[in-house]
Amino acid sequence: MEHAPIETPERKAFYARIDKQNMTPLWSVINALITPEPRSACVPALWRFDEIRKAMLEAGALITAKEAERRVLILENPGMRGQSKITTSLYAGVQLVMPHEVAPAHRHSQSALRFVLDGKGAHTSVDGERTLMSPGDFVITPSMTWHDHGNDTDEPMFWLDGLDIPLIQFLDASFIERYEHEEQPIGKPVGDSRARYGANLLPIDYRGGSATSPIFNYPYDRTREALHQLSRANDCDPCHGIKMRYTNPANGDHAMPTIGTYIQLLPKAFKTSRYRSTDATVFVAMEGRGQTRVGEETLQWGPKDVFVVPSWRPIVHEALDGECVLFSFSDRPVQEKIGVWREDRGNA
C-alpha cells in the first residue's frame, strides 16, 4: 500500500535546505515515480474522418504544402493538449496533398509511417524510389531517409502520419535537413523494393544493415487477401480476431524499430474478449463499423475513423456491421526490446 512519510518541521526544513542544492528526497516522490500500474495522462479518444476531411480541405485553401512543409493536422490526445502527442511516446496527424502539389523533400531522425485514408494515385518517394499510394497501404519512411510527397492526380490525397517524435524528443536525438530541391531524384523503378524483398526472396548477397524493413510500401490489396484467406480457416484469437503484424522480411522483426504496426480482421458480429497491454495503441478503422469499449467508455467507429487506447486500459472490440478491418500502431517494439511489455488476456 502506498504511504507517504510524515512531514515534520525538521524534515521540511531539511528539504528546503537541500532544495537550494538541486536535490530532492526520493521518499517524498517515490510513489509518483514507481507506480503499481501504468499511470498516464493519455485518455481514450476518437476522431471522425468526415470531420478531419472537412478541416483538412479548409486548411488546403489557407496554406500550400510548400509553405507548410507538411500540411498536417495533429491528432492531439485530449489529456495532453499542446504536446503534439496522441500517446505519451507517439505522434499522429492527418496529411493532405492537394492535386498537383508537392510536399518538399527533407529527412529527419524520426521514423514515420503513412497509412493511406482517402484518394488514389499520389506518390511518396523514399531514398530514390517512388511508390504510388492507395487506401489501406502502409508506407514506411525510415529514420534519416530523404522523402517527399507529390500528387499528380485531380483529387486530394489524405493519409495518417504516425511518428516516434515524442520518443526521439525525450532522447534529445532530433535532427532535420532540407533537400536543395523540392523533389529528390528517382533512381529506381516503381516496385523495386517489393521485387527485391517482398516475394519471400532476398538478394543473394544481402546483409541487412538497417533495423527498418527494406520494403517501404505494404499494399492493402495483398494484406486484405491474406486476411481473407485466414478468415476462411475460422481460427480467431479470442482477444484479437485475426491479427497480424507487419514484419521486416530480412529478419522477421517488426517492420519499424520503434513503432509496431498491425492489421486485424473482426469477423461479422465478432466480439473480442477483454484485453489490455502496456503499449498505448492508435487504431484506424479501414473497413466496417463497430465499437470498442475502453474501460467504462465506448467508442463507436466507422471507416477511416481514428481512435486511441491508453496503456493498460481493458478493451473489447465488437464488429457491428459486417467484417471489420483495423490497422493499428504502438511502441511495442521498444517495450519488448527493453523487457517491459506486458499483456493481460481476459483478467483485466
**243-296, pLDDT tens digit by residue?**
999 999 999 999 999 999 999 999 999 999 999 999 999 999 999 999 999 999
- Residue 244 and residue 154: Cα distance in Å, rounded? 34
What are the residues whose beta carbons fall under 8 Å from the beta carbon of 187, sequence distance 6 or more?
A: 128, 129
**24-67, pLDDT tens digit by residue?**
999 999 999 999 999 999 999 999 999 999 999 999 999 999 99
The domain limits of the chain are 40-345
- Do residues 288 and 326 make contact, with C-beta atoms less than 8 angstroms apart? no
Distance of CA 262 to the CA centre of its chain: 10
- Residue 198 and residue 239: Cα distance in Å, rounded? 29
**122-179, pLDDT tens digit by residue?**
999 999 999 999 999 999 999 999 999 999 999 999 999 999 999 999 999 999 999 9
Mean pLDDT of 182-194: 93
Q: Which of 200, 213, 206, 216 is nearest to 129 (CA)?
A: 216
Instruction: Report the relative pairing of strands 123-126 and 157-163 from DSSP bridges.
Output: unpaired
Give pLDDT, residue 347. 57
Does pLDDT of 1 surpass 70?
no
Does pLDDT of 348 surpass 50?
no
Distance of CA 290 to the CA centre of its chain: 20
SS3 310: coil
Does pLDDT of 207 surpass 90?
no
For domain 40-345, give the CATH superfamily. Jelly Rolls (2.60.120.10)
What pTM, to 2 d.p., does this model score?
A: 0.95
The string over 126-135, giving b where at least 16 C-beta atoms fall within 10 Å of a residue's C-beta and e elsewhere, is bbebbbbbeb
Give pLDDT, residue 273. 97
**326-342, pLDDT tens digit by residue?**
999 999 999 999 999 99
129-135: long-range pairs with CB below 8 Å, 24+: 129/186, 129/187, 129/188, 129/190, 129/192, 129/193, 129/216, 130/186, 130/188, 130/190, 131/190, 131/191, 131/216, 131/217, 132/190, 133/157, 133/159, 133/217, 134/219, 134/220, 134/221, 135/220, 135/286
Share of the chain above pLDDT 70, in %: 99
Helices in the chain by DSSP H: which ranges? 9-19, 30-33, 49-62, 65-68, 165-170, 192-197, 220-232, 332-338
SS3 188: coil
Residue bearing cell 544493415: 209
Q: Which of 70, 164, 149 is nearest to 113 (CA)?
A: 164
CB atoms within 10 A of CB 4: 10
- Do residues 25 and 18 make contact, with C-beta atoms less than 8 angstroms apart? yes
Give pLDDT, residue 167. 98
What are the residues whose beta carbons fall under 8 Å from the beta carbon of 206, sequence distance 6 or more?
A: 250
Helices in 78-118 by DSSP H: which ranges? none
Residue bearing cell 463499423: 289
Residue 237 is classified by DSSP as: B
Give pLDDT, residue 235. 86
**100-115, pLDDT tens digit by residue?**
999 999 999 999 999 9
Give pLDDT, residue 2. 63
Mean pLDDT of 180-197: 93
- Give 231: exposed, middle or buried? Use CB within 10 Å, 0-12, 13-18, 19+: middle
Give pLDDT, residue 234. 81
Mean pLDDT of 299-314: 98
Q: Report residue 219's pLDDT band, with 50, 70 and 90 as the boundaries.
A: very high
